[in-house]
């Protein structure tokens, strides 16, 4: 047996376990057989493969290490881990060819003959010698090893080797970490002694696995379900949904949008969609008679908001167009911050996954200047900062909402501008991108958190335009009849704040015109605390607000009178639900309560509410608790759509090298031209 054959046997025997591959030819041979996320290619740090394997195994995972004799002899102290961390379910395969293959085939030291003895002396539970592939498979394939097991596998020296591993190494780490997390359906186990292994009994029957996130080990409920890579998991339905919408809607005359739907699913696309995890968990079984659960849509650490989903869809469509036509695309989007961050993150992911090259696809965002404190550095774009391809414009001296009209007008003029070098300029606000992206919420819900078919579920969401809830409704339409029938019927609760309360006002003021709106929006009077105003007229509006902020939770929200209000009103009329407006003061007064509930779903809020930069999740939670306390809903099952939360400790601020100040349409056009001029 030569080394390549041995590696091929190992790779095919353990497609479901993490493989730690040592440096040199062993990693390269495995890489040439096909890169896989469960393979950790340790290209440097010779001698440490088994240490990494023990570290992963000590966290409860069954692990295979593929080592070499030169590597083992370089750091035999790693063998001591068999005693230092007893009980780890580690299969340590040493491909022993007696030589340092990648440095020219020099023989390894005379101590090579002692490897099996060393392993026994260091405390390995069992040690085998193998010369044939079937022996390897028989010792490992049945998954019955219970403690550290070493297979000293004698292979012929001399073998063919594949190319060097050209993946960015941080991507290698990230992919394997995500893969390890993805096979862990969160059945929570207690936080045992650090570094000690789980007893063997808990290692049996494990497609189920311990959850690894330490913060989550306190108080998480057993019904938590993490749906890994939701967009890839439901891709077929999403593609169908996109095709049906593209058949129905047309691009505005004279503007560009990709003619095609979504690209075919490939390994690279799956990797790219890897940021689209979502999860469900019950936070309390009974708050004022309601079960309150969380749908966590902010699990992508690169954004911490649900904007990840639509942005991944938008950028995937751009990728499909580029691949089909060879045309380059510049995405332009106005944003109050989060969409811009998510688009930048998606573009970086498309580059990292090898879907497109940096010069083929870039993104230029225009945000209000007030959004600056929410904008974050996108690590994946860092290598490209100097090129200036992906700037963020900050609009100064104008109302925040003007970012939309300025970006739109710039796009209209730039698409025909020869100075953009024939790139297509795409203004990506088409609703279909949002509807199909947010449809995964309903698709995953039906499979993993269906509730009771006889008990309506109130879906609560902090909204500006309520695309997320319309997307959920669209997802229900994509479900088959049977799946829809066994899932809880949906009702919708709109949660807004005073700066953008139009959807709630629209819901309750219909037919009343301006007078109706006035009767819905209450007037406030002073209180004993001179900074606090109060009202008792309408419980769907803040009962208290701070005069200094007028109750506004986040000044960066700018969407007024959204065109989606009519559709949302019709949905609520037909299926049930309502709306509520909350103030910043109410969110602050609820901060501890909300934090305690979110902790049950594994989310820990910043200790200091002044550090919070994205309040959407707190808004939705506050709206739900206020609705229940005030008797505004009789829902027994409430699912809060956690669309966004982050605090300053969760991200690195955008770097000034990425910022361009914008005063008007002309200066924004110049920003775009500079970004595409290469």
Partner 1 sequence: MTALNETPRSGRHIDADALAGQLAAAGVGPLFGTPCGVLAPLYAALSRRGSLQTISREDVALGLAVGAALASRPAGVVMQNSGLGQCVNALASLVAPYRVPILLIVSLRGTGQDHTEENVGMGGLTADILTSLRIPWTSLDVDSDWTFATSETINLVTSGRSPAALLFPPEAFGWKP
Site of interaction with partner 1 (CB under 8 A): 18, 20, 40, 42-61, 63, 75, 77-78, 80-81, 84-85, 169-170, 172-173, 176-177, 180-181, 193-196, 212-215, 301, 379, 649-652
User: Where do we find the tokens 């979110």?
Assistant: 598
Nearer to partner 1, 51 or 491 (CB): 51
| CA 495 – CA 326 distance, rounded (Å) | 43
Residue 509 is classified by DSSP as: S
Task: Work out how close the CB of 412 gets to partner 1 at its nearest, in angstroms, rounded to a whole number.
Answer: 39
Which tokens in the block code for residue 299? Answer: 């699990």
Nearer to partner 1, 42 or 94 (CB): 42
Task: Work out how close the CB of 613 gets to partner 1 at its nearest, in angstroms, rounded to a whole number.
Answer: 14
Task: Work out how close the CB of 213 gets to partner 1 at its nearest, in angstroms, rounded to a whole number.
Answer: 5
Task: Work out how close the CB of 470 gets to partner 1 at its nearest, in angstroms, rounded to a whole number.
Answer: 32
Nearer to partner 1, 88 or 411 (CB): 88
**Percent helix, strand and coil across the chain, each to the nearest 5:** 45, 20, 35
Nearer to partner 1, 581 or 654 (CB): 654
Nearer to partner 1, 193 or 530 (CB): 193
* Number of Cα atoms under 13 Å in the Cβ half of residue 622: 27
Q: In what order do the strands lie in the sheet with 126-130?
A: 39-41, 19-21, 63-68, 90-96, 149-154, 126-130
Task: Work out how close the CB of 120 gets to partner 1 at its nearest, in angstroms, rounded to a whole number.
Answer: 18
Which tokens in the block code for residue 120? Answer: 């026994």
Nearer to partner 1, 49 or 431 (CB): 49
Nearer to partner 1, 57 or 356 (CB): 57
Task: Work out how close the CB of 28 gets to partner 1 at its nearest, in angstroms, rounded to a whole number.
Answer: 15
Nearer to partner 1, 427 or 646 (CB): 646
Task: Work out how close the CB of 661 gets to partner 1 at its nearest, in angstroms, rounded to a whole number.
Answer: 28
Residue 142 is classified by DSSP as: T
Sign of CA dihedral 460, 466, 469, 473: positive
Sign of CA dihedral 520, 526, 527, 533: positive
Sign of CA dihedral 371, 665, 427, 349: negative
Secondary structure of 335-389 as H, E, C letters: CCCHHHHHHHHHHHHHHHCCCCCCCCEEEEEEEEHHHHHHCECCHHHHHHHHHCC
Task: Work out how close the CB of 349 gets to partner 1 at its nearest, in angstroms, rounded to a whole number.
Answer: 16
Nearer to partner 1, 41 or 449 (CB): 41
| CA 179 – CA 177 distance, rounded (Å) | 5
Q: How far is CA 3 from CA 9, 46, 339, 492, 524, in A?
A: 10, 18, 49, 59, 78
Nearer to partner 1, 160 or 652 (CB): 652
126 closest CA partner among 91, 80, 74, 94: 91
Which secondary-structure segment (H or E) carries 525? strand 525-526
Task: Work out how close the CB of 73 gets to partner 1 at its nearest, in angstroms, rounded to a whole number.
Answer: 14
Cα R_g (the chain), whole angstroms: 28
- The SS3 assignment for 608 reads coil
Nearer to partner 1, 146 or 212 (CB): 212
Task: Work out how close the CB of 600 gets to partner 1 at its nearest, in angstroms, rounded to a whole number.
Answer: 17
Which tokens in the block code for residue 57? Answer: 């195994």
Task: Work out how close the CB of 45 gets to partner 1 at its nearest, in angstroms, rounded to a whole number.
Answer: 4
Nearer to partner 1, 411 or 647 (CB): 647
Task: Work out how close the CB of 88 gets to partner 1 at its nearest, in angstroms, rounded to a whole number.
Answer: 10
394 closest CA partner among 337, 332, 315: 337
Burial class (CB in 10 A: 0-12, 13-18, 19+), 250: exposed
| CA 539 – CA 630 distance, rounded (Å) | 7
User: Where do we find the tokens 């297509």?
Assistant: 424
């Amino acid at each position: 047996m030569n080394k390549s054959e041995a590696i091929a046997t190992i790779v095919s025997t353990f497609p479901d376990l993490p493989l730690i591959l040592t440096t040199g030819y062993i990693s390269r041979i495995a890489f040439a057989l096909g890169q896989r996320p469960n393979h950790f290619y340790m290209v440097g740090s010779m001698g440490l493969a088994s240490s990494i394997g023990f570290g992963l195994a000590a966290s409860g995972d069954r692990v295979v290490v593929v080592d070499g004799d030169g590597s083992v002899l370089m750091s035999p102290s790693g063998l001591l881990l068999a005693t230092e961390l007893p009980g780890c379910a580690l299969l340590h395969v040493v491909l022993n060819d007696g030589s340092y293959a990648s440095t020219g085939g020099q023989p390894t030291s005379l101590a090579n003959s002692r490897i099996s003895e060393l392993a026994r002396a260091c405390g390995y539970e069992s040690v085998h010698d193998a010369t044939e592939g079937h022996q390897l498979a028989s010792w490992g394939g049945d998954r019955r090893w219970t403690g550290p097991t070493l297979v000293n596998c004698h292979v012929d020296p001399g073998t063919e080797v594949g190319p060097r591993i050209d993946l960015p190494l941080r991507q290698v780490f990230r992919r394997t970490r995500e893969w390890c997390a993805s096979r862990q359906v969160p059945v929570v186990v207690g936080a045992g002694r650090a570094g000690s292994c789980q007893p063997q009994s808990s290692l049996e029957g494990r497609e189920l696995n311990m959850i690894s996130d330490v913060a989550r080990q306190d108080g998480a409920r057993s019904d938590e379900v993490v749906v890994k890579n939701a967009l890839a998991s439901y891709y077929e339905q999403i593609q169908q949904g996109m095709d049906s919408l593209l058949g129905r809607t047309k691009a505005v005359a004279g503007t560009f949008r990709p003619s095609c739907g979504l690209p075919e699913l490939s390994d690279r696309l799956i990797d790219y969609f890897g940021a689209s995890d979502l999860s469900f968990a019950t936070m309390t079984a009974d708050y004022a008679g309601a079960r309150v659960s969380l749908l966590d849509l902010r699990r992508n650490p690169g954004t911490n908001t649900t904007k990840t989903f639509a942005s991944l869809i938008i950028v995937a469509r751009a990728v499909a167009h580029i691949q089909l036509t060879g045309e380059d695309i510049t995405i332009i989007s106005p944003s109050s911050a989060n969409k811009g961050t998510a688009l930048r993150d998606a573009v970086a992911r498309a580059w990292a996954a090898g879907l497109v090259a940096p010069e083929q696809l870039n993104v230029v965002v225009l945000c209000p200047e007030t959004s600056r404190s929410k904008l974050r550095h996108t690590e994946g774009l860092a290598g490209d900062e100097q090129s200036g391809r992906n700037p963020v414009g900050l609009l100064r001296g104008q109302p925040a909402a003007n970012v939309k009209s300025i970006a739109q007008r710039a796009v209209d003029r730039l698409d025909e501008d020869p100075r953009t070098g024939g790139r297509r300029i795409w203004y990506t606000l088409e609703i279909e991108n949002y509807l199909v992206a947010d449809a995964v919420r309903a698709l995953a819900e039906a499979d993993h958190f269906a509730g009771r078919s006889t008990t309506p579920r109130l879906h609560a969401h902090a909204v500006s335009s309520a695309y997320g809830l319309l997307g959920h409704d669209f997802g229900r339409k994509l479900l088959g009849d049977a799946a829809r029938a066994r899932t809880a019927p949906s009702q919708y609760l709109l949660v807004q704040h005073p700066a953008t309360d139009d959807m709630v006002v629209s819901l309750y003021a219909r037919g009343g015109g301006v007078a109706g709106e006035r009767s819905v929006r209450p007037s406030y009077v002073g209180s004993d605390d001179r900074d606090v105003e109060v009202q008792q007229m309408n419980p769907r509006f803040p009962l208290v607000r701070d005069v200094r902020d007028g109750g506004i939770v986040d000044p960066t929200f700018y969407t007024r009178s959204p065109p989606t209000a009519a559709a949302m009103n019709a949905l609520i009329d037909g299926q049930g639900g309502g709306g509520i407006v909350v103030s910043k003061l109410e969110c602050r007064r609820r901060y501890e309560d909300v934090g305690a509930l979110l902790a049950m779903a594994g989310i820990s809020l910043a200790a200091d509410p002044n550090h919070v930069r994205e309040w959407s999740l707190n808004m939705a939670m506050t709206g739900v608790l206020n609705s229940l306390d005030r008797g505004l809903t009789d829902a027994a099952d409430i699912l809060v759509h956690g669309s966004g939360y982050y605090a300053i400790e969760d991200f690195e601020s955008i770097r000034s090298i990425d910022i361009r100040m914008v005063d008007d349409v002309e200066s924004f056009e110049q920003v775009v031209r500079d970004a595409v001029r290469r």
